Structure 1
Amino acid sequence: MAKQKRVWFITGCSSGFGRALAEAVIAHGDHLVATARRLSTIADLVAQAPHRVLTLALDVTKPDSVQVAIAAAITRFNVIDVLVNNAGYGLQGAIEEISDAEARQQFETNVFGVWNVLRAALPHLRQAGGGHILNFSSIAGQRASPGLGGYSASKFAVEGLSEALAQEVAPLGIRVTLVEPGGFRTDWAGRSMVWAAHEIKEYAATSGRLRQGLKGFHGRQAGDPARAAQALLALVELPEPPLRLPLGPDALQGIRSKLKEVERDISAQEALSLSTNFQP
């Protein structure tokens, strides 16, 4: 008996992880709904498998655009088996340097964009009685760095949203996984990065140092997006997929180091923490 092919719905397919995953899904023989803000950037995907690929223009910050795209996917393939919230970008700048508009746009895309897609897709996943949601977070969603506070705040939000969501939908047969990449050769540190327009010289040793480091880091990261895509294909085959999947040795090391730091802090002040209850 032939294995049932999955239907994937992926946001942000113009480049990076989204593009690599879209191509891997096609090569794997599954069905694909590939989306991007500009349809022209993904139009070539259809030629690779015309009967299995649907490309759609989608701006995750616009709820109406999301609703239309999800409806078109259901009309074409009847179901969404794997929903991938990948669309997003980085914002570099110290907390004081980032403007209100820059911070709000970061959250509009990285947080509310995910929320918009989830709200549109979940009714269909509930009706189908299953599905797997992959929400892209980052090592920065577990461990913040100076100069990436705005980006980390958005990814920390995705982590909290996903933890709650996983518990809400587990009884409905729907699984949720946070994908937490380290450094990969995508456009994240290149053309996709937004640099805070305002620089303050007093942050040159912290945020400023990271700004320069990221510019030199672009294109030299150890992570291969194509290999990450293969890891995600393997992930969805697991009978009990994890809530979190760090990608890359730097992500693993960073998260493990963070967990040790948290344990050290809470253990050092355990007595103070326990001193706060009402006394009998």
Structure 2
Amino acid sequence: MMKKQRVWFISGCSSGFGRGLARAALERGDCVAVTARNLDAVSDLVDKHAARARAIQLDVTDSSSVRRAVAQAIEAFGRIDVLVNNAGYALQGVFEDATDAQIRRVFETNVFGLMDLTRAVVSGMRTQGSGHIINLSSIVGRLSGPLLAYYSATKFAVEGLSEALAGELTDFGIRVTLIEPGPYATDFASRSLDPIASSDAYVKLTERANASYAGMIFDDPQAVVDAIVQVASLATPPLRLPVGTQALGMARDALRAQSTELERWAGLSTGGGYVV
């Protein structure tokens, strides 16, 4: 049996998961709208698969760029079967010390940019009666920790948006999946990270947190790419998929902690008071 050829639209293909996924989809025989702010960064991918790849300039923080990019993909391929909202970056540091510009920029990219791109694509999927929206979240979209307040807030927003969207679109044959990677060996901790300068009051906390995060094991990012390719092939994909042993363990720990706390305070929740 021949594999169905799909049309992918992937944001943020210049590096990391986006670049690896674009390559995997093209090698699989699919068509891909390979997007980036700088098209020189993806020219090698497109040149190698000229018949099935289109390099399309995209800045998700610019609504006119979003609309233009989607229109170019439709013109090239006639449809979009799989939208992967991959573009994004981390803002890391103490909540109190972030600047207004830093806060607004990370939300413009990770949340509002994702919303704009999804809104631009979803009407076409609804008309064709099929589609799959895959949103790159993070394991910190389920739980958070010191120095991750703003990045986690953007991913928590993406999780809530995606859950609601899944319910709204199911009647139209459109599926929604959240991919929740743990720590992976991409350029995320360098090129895709905006550090917040710490004030003197938080030096000790910052040192402890950074030391803890530095001790994490960074897995091969190909596992995330492989998981997305497999999820895109499923008729009934999961809404949430932690990817990686660390991510799965962290998700389980978070769910257990939430369940324990829920039961501990159940009496207070239902008006019966709390018994020590």
- Answer yes or no: is 1:201 the counterpart of 2:197: no
**TM-score, normalised by the number of residues in structure 2:** 0.95
Give the deviation of 1:166 after TM superposition.
0.4
Q: Does 1:47 align with 2:47?
A: yes
Q: Hey, what does 1:159 align to over in structure 2? A: 159
The secondary structure found in structure 1 opposite 2:19 is helix
2:222 pairs with one of 222, 226, 233? 226
TM-score when scaled to structure 1?
0.93
Aligned residue identity for 1:200? S
What's the CA shift for 1:266? 1.3
Change (3 A) 1:242 1:188: same
Shift in Å, 1:213: 5.2
Query: Given residue 249 of structure 1, which amino acid in structure 2 is its aligned partner?
Result: T
Q: 2:132 — aligned with what?
A: 132
Structure 2 residue 238 is the aligned partner of structure 1 residue 239: no
Task: Report which stretch shifted further, 65-74 or 257-266.
Answer: 257-266
Q: Secondary structure at the match of 1:242?
A: coil
Shift of 1:239: 1.8
Task: State the one-letter code of the partner of 1:202.
Answer: A
Query: Secondary structure at the residue paired with 1:61?
Result: coil
Answer whether contact 2:34 2:46 (CA < 8 A) is retained.
Answer: no
Amino acid at match of 1:186: T
Asked whether the equivalents of residues 181 and 248 of structure 1 are also in contact (C-alpha less than 8 Å), the reply is yes
Q: Counterpart in 2 of 1:73?
A: 73
SS in 2 for 1:224: coil
Aligned twin of 2:116: 116
1:257 to 253, 260, 271: 253
Q: CA RMSD in A?
A: 1.5
**How many residues are aligned here?**
272
Change (3 A) 1:8 1:244: same
Matched, 1:274 2:270: yes
Instruction: Give unpaired runs (5+ residues) of structure 2.
Output: none
**1:126-163 Cα distance to aligned partner (Å, 9 max, x none):** 11111000000001101101001010000000000000
Whole-Å separation in 1 of the counterparts to 2:16 and 2:2: 31
Q: Which AA in structure 1 matches 2:249? A: Q
Preserved contact between residue 92 and residue 211 of structure 1 (Cα < 8 Å) = no
Percent sequence identity over matched residues?
47
